[in-house]
Chain A
Amino acid sequence: MRITRLAATLGALTMALAVAACGGDDEGSGSGSSGAKGIEGKAAGGKLVIGVKADQPGLGLQSGSTYTGFDVEIGKIIAKGLGVPESGIEWKTTVSANREPYIQQGQVDIVVATYTINDERKKVVNFAGPYFIAGQDLLVPTNSTITGPESLAGKRVCSVSGSTPAKRIQTEYKDAKLQQFDTYSKCVTALAGGQVDAVTTDDIILAGYAAQDQYAGKFKVVGKPFSEEPYGIGLKKDDSAGCNKINDILKAAATDGSYKKAWDDTLGKSGTAAPELDASKLSNCA
């Protein structure tokens, strides 16, 4: 009986001390930091969680535990600009539908995942960039007669359910028959099998698929983009400072050649010359 009481008292004392110690610690670090919030504050700790696509060759492709592609390189440039070493980056797979929730919930710090800037999304997240301007295009078999979106009437077109390209086909090209899958790889498989006549999404995503070894020479990108998809870097809505900081990093990357290198190492392998990063368009930060 006495022993238990003693133990309880000791336990309570220890806990009280521990709590007091913790409190003291917190105060110390709180007053010591510069007070930066958002990604800059996170980056100061040497860590950054970046959301990327995992199934888009040339842009964001996961093989094993490593990610490769243009988006991934852009993510590395930003991390470097924020002072985060490559070992401090945690890559996280995002799909089209979970990018906003991931940012809002803080599961990722930034998203670099073929993320088109648009007004609806701007209501919930902040966009740095655009770092690249893509356009919706069509991927067709090499011998196809499809020459652009206007020749899609009665043809079967495949895209990912819930994506912007799918929506555009539904609303603007109603004569096309839309097949929707949850991934583009299923669409490309269906295209290879002849169940659909075309796959539609942004041109560089399609170029990435066309350049895959197993499809080499079988598909071509039509090359008549019929939309403008400015790719941005998503981050928390209230993080204006972080947003402007990323834009500065992008500007610097355009002048010091690391942007061009990122392109040449990834999508540039398909033979397309590196795009110019237009600094005057970096104006989406809220």
Chain B
Amino acid sequence: MDVFSDPANRDVYITGFLWILKLTLAGGVGALVLGVLLAAMRVSPVPVLRGFGTAWVNIFRNTPLTLIIFFCYFGLFSTLGLSLADDIDLNNFWLGVVGLSVYTAAFVCEAIRSGINTVPPGQAEAARAIGMSFRQTLTIIVLPQAGRAVIAPLGSILIALCKNSTIVGTIGLMESSNAMKDLINANGDAVIPIFLVFAGTFAVVLIPTGYAFGWLANRLAVKR
């Protein structure tokens, strides 16, 4: 492990994982907001919105994330000129967040839609019966119950998102996978230790995350 006793190398390692953390958080928030909106569209009574939601899910769920991230740089930024920050790293970071959110939202949407199916139809009917609008029914009655049913699947999506964040390295952000490549290139004699430390870090962060979501899911489940 003497590779990591060099402060410069430790810096590369820490920066790499900080980027992963930031990507996961920003991407997760983006995906959750977008995903809930998409789920609302998919169950709404308006055909156009339903179509839009279905199209989104089918397109992005079935496109490789690498392509989406790649498109964010060479399509959105290069060709269409969508610059999200002046700093190169920040710009790549936000482009990555856009790609991750757009992609992960498709999965969040499907998870929430399955949660909505666990809410007995009587709940929505009762809400309508006392005069609530579609929006009120969804936000006050259905979504809170649906949300509590899908905490475990959302946890899985978050874990996947965290690992997927490494793909933003393809457009040049010095996240963990690029940091690992950097260290391996400079320390060809320590490939296995470097690899184990990077893989291990993901395990150390993500295994407790998985358990935390499992615990939360048990705590908050709507007991029927």
A interface, CB within 8 angstroms of B: 96-101, 104, 120-121, 123-125, 156, 161-163, 167, 177-182, 189-190, 193, 195
Task: Pick from A104, A120, A163, A179 the residue with the most CB of B within 10 Å.
Answer: A179
Closest to A164 in B: B185
- Docked CA distance A98–B172 (Å): 19
Q: Which residues of A contact B74 (CB under 8 A)?
A: 189-190, 193
Out of A162, A180, A193, A195, which one reaches B184, CB within 8 Å? A162
Contact of B172 with A179 in the complex, beta carbons under 8 Å:
yes
B-side interface size class: 20 to 34
Q: Which residues of A contact B117 (CB under 8 A)?
A: none
Q: Which residues of B contact A180 (CB under 8 A)?
A: 172, 174, 178
Does any Cβ of A come within 8 Å of B222's Cβ?
A: no
Closest to A103 in B: B188
Out of B88, B171, B186, B188, which one reaches A156, CB within 8 Å? B88
Does any Cβ of A come within 8 Å of B125's Cβ?
A: no
Contact of A190 with B78 in the complex, beta carbons under 8 Å:
yes
Q: Which residues of B contact A97 (CB under 8 A)?
A: 181, 184-185
Contact of A162 with B178 in the complex, beta carbons under 8 Å:
yes
Contact of A177 with B191 in the complex, beta carbons under 8 Å:
no
- Docked CA distance A248–B88 (Å): 47
Contact of A163 with B88 in the complex, beta carbons under 8 Å:
no
Does any Cβ of A come within 8 Å of B87's Cβ?
A: yes
Contact of B182 with A161 in the complex, beta carbons under 8 Å:
yes
Contact of B185 with A162 in the complex, beta carbons under 8 Å:
yes
A-B contacts, 10 of them at CB < 8 A, read: A96-B185, A97-B184, A124-B188, A156-B88, A161-B178, A162-B186, A178-B88, A179-B92, A182-B169, A193-B74
Does any Cβ of A come within 8 Å of B63's Cβ?
A: no
Q: Which residues of A contact B189 (CB under 8 A)?
A: 100, 104, 123-124
Q: Which residues of B contact A182 (CB under 8 A)?
A: 169-170, 178, 181
By Cβ-Cβ distance, the 3 closest A-B pairs, closest first, are A100-B188, A162-B182, A162-B185
In the complex, chain B residues 165-219 whose Cβ is within 8 Å of any chain A Cβ: 169-172, 174, 178, 181-182, 184-189, 191
Q: Which residues of B contact A96 (CB under 8 A)?
A: 185
Out of B178, B181, B182, B188, which one reaches A104, CB within 8 Å? B188
Out of A99, A125, A177, A195, which one reaches B78, CB within 8 Å? A195
Does any Cβ of A come within 8 Å of B79's Cβ?
A: yes
Does any Cβ of A come within 8 Å of B56's Cβ?
A: no
Contact of A177 with B88 in the complex, beta carbons under 8 Å:
yes
A101 and B188 in contact (CB under 8 A), knowing A161-B169, A177-B87, A193-B78?
yes
Does any Cβ of A come within 8 Å of B77's Cβ?
A: yes
What is the distance, in angstroms, from B28's C-beta to the closest C-beta of chain A? 25
- Docked CA distance A161–B79 (Å): 23
- Docked CA distance A101–B195 (Å): 12
A101 and B191 in contact (CB under 8 A), knowing A161-B172, A177-B87, A182-B170?
yes
Q: Which residues of A contact B174 (CB under 8 A)?
A: 161, 180
Q: Which residues of B contact A189 (CB under 8 A)?
A: 74, 78
Contact of A162 with B181 in the complex, beta carbons under 8 Å:
yes
The 8 A CB mask of B67-90 against A (1 = contact, 0 = none) is 000000010011100000001100
Instruction: Kindly list 15 other residue pairs between chains A and B, CB separation below 8 angstroms, not including A97-B185, A104-B189, A167-B186.
Output: A97-B184, A100-B191, A101-B191, A104-B188, A120-B187, A120-B188, A161-B172, A162-B178, A162-B182, A163-B185, A179-B88, A179-B172, A180-B172, A195-B77, A195-B78
In the complex, chain B residues 118-138 whose Cβ is within 8 Å of any chain A Cβ: none
Q: Which residues of A contact B170 (CB under 8 A)?
A: 181-182
- Docked CA distance A98–B195 (Å): 13
Q: Which residues of B contact A104 (CB under 8 A)?
A: 188-189
What is the distance, in angstroms, from B93's C-beta to the closest C-beta of chain A? 13
Q: Which residues of A contact B79 (CB under 8 A)?
A: 193
Q: Which residues of A contact B77 (CB under 8 A)?
A: 195
- Docked CA distance A233–B169 (Å): 30
What is the distance, in angstroms, from B196's C-beta to the closest C-beta of chain A? 14
Task: Pick from B79, B87, B170 the residue with the most CB of A within 10 Å.
Answer: B170
What is the distance, in angstroms, from B218's C-beta to the closest C-beta of chain A? 42
Task: Pick from B174, B185, B189 the residue with the most CB of A within 10 Å.
Answer: B185
Q: Which residues of A contact B78 (CB under 8 A)?
A: 189-190, 193, 195
Q: Which residues of B contact A178 (CB under 8 A)?
A: 88
A99 and B188 in contact (CB under 8 A), knowing A181-B172, A189-B74, A190-B78?
yes
